[in-house]
Amino acid sequence: MLAAIGLDEHAERVYTHLVAHGPATRAELAARCGPLPTGALELLQASGLVAPDAARRFTAAPPAVALEALLTGQRHALQEAELTASQLTEAYRSAAAGNDRAHRDLIEVVAGRAAISHRVTQLQAGAERELLALVTGRHQVVAADETGAETAAVARGVTYRVVLERRSLDEPGAARPLFEALDRQQQVRVVENVPTKLIVADRSLALVPLTASTTDPVALVIRAPALVTVLTVLFEQTWEWAHPLGRTGPDLVVGPVPAGEPDETDRRILALLLSGATDPAVAKQLSLGLRTVQRRISRLMSLARADTRIQLGWQAHRRGWAD
């Protein structure tokens, strides 16, 4: 019961015995109260609850005086602890409020077409090295340069890479803004499906839609490095699968489109490549020259509209060439 004032079970038992039965020596206390742990009597002495006499007999101090003194000290300590707890709580709240402000700075919610358009302009105006964009549906990112932000960015050396969803090419008037984008030296690719609209500036700042609504759009401006990195990886993966967009006279061309289908030799080359064989190994297996194999692979990549061999493998499976 006296643990609240710092007495353990053994010290409390000794003090209770001395109060009830009067003075006793250490040996008598051990015989009546059980073995005394080292320091039990010393703890009672330090607390002012017992005192030894000349005969080395320990006498209990009056509880009304001794315990009240300890209780008063404990109350004071509790008041100090409460004050400290209050100060720590206030400090915690202030720090939490500061963290909340910092977190809000990492992700900003932007609502409304005009506000989002303004943020897009800011991203372009603030870009120093590159601007990456995924565009679904109508190509808003590479539309006519109304504010001059794109032209100014390109003039100061900012690289633009844009991936369009293929259906955006079917939109009325699609060609003109795309020609303008290509004339501004933007790199534009086309893919069947784009996962989300996205703009990333200098791999440090991103804008992504929060809703699919076109009447009341909401977007997130993201500065959190980890999230921007994830969105950049998403762009690079989409870019890897997309086909280059170019121009031939008045027409837009999505990659080279050679005529024909893979012949039996092409299919064998594909099968060996997909099994992990190198170009020299393929040439040796099929008794072909290395340059012949590489020329056929190049033609297959053009036929599949693939920029990398990874894309060629995916297209080969997709088109049934590797079955």
CA pseudo-torsion sign 63, 65, 69, 75: positive
Nearest in space to 73 (alpha carbons), one of 107, 39, 49: 49
pTM: 0.50
Q: How far apart are CA 314 and CA 322, in angstroms?
A: 10
pLDDT value of residue 236: 92
H/E stretch holding 246 reads: strand 243-248
pLDDT value of residue 227: 93
Domains and CATH numbers, the chain: 1-101 (1.10.10.10), 112-254 (3.30.870.10), 264-319 (1.10.10.10)
**C-alpha pair distances (Å), 210 with each of 28, 107, 116, 165, 200:** 80, 12, 11, 19, 15
What is the full DSSP assignment across 81-116? Answer: HHHHHHHHHHHHHHHHHHHHHHHHHHEEEEESHHHH
Task: Report the greatest alpha carbon distance in the chain.
Answer: 119
H/E stretch holding 301 reads: helix 290-303
State both tokens at 73: 């000290």
In tens, the pLDDT along 162-188 reads 998 877 776 766 667 777 777 777 888
Q: How far apart are CA 238 and CA 232, in angstroms?
A: 10
In tens, the pLDDT along 103-133 reads 667 888 999 888 888 888 889 888 999 999 9
What value does the mean pLDDT of the chain take? 80
Q: Which residues pair with 108 in a beta bridge?
A: 221
Q: From the first residue on, what is the mean pLDDT of each consecutive set of 10 residues in the chain (323 residues)?
A: 71 80 81 77 80 81 78 78 81 69 76 88 90 76 61 87 82 72 81 89 92 81 92 91 64 52 85 84 87 88 82 82 71
**C-alpha pair distances (Å), 314 with each of 102, 189, 253, 311:** 43, 17, 21, 5
pLDDT value of residue 103: 63
pLDDT value of residue 130: 94
Long-range contacts of the stretch 15-23 (C-beta < 8 A, 24+): 15/44, 15/49, 15/50, 15/60, 18/50, 18/58, 18/59, 18/60, 19/60, 19/63, 22/59, 23/53, 23/57, 23/58, 23/59
Nearest in space to 142 (alpha carbons), one of 64, 76, 194: 194
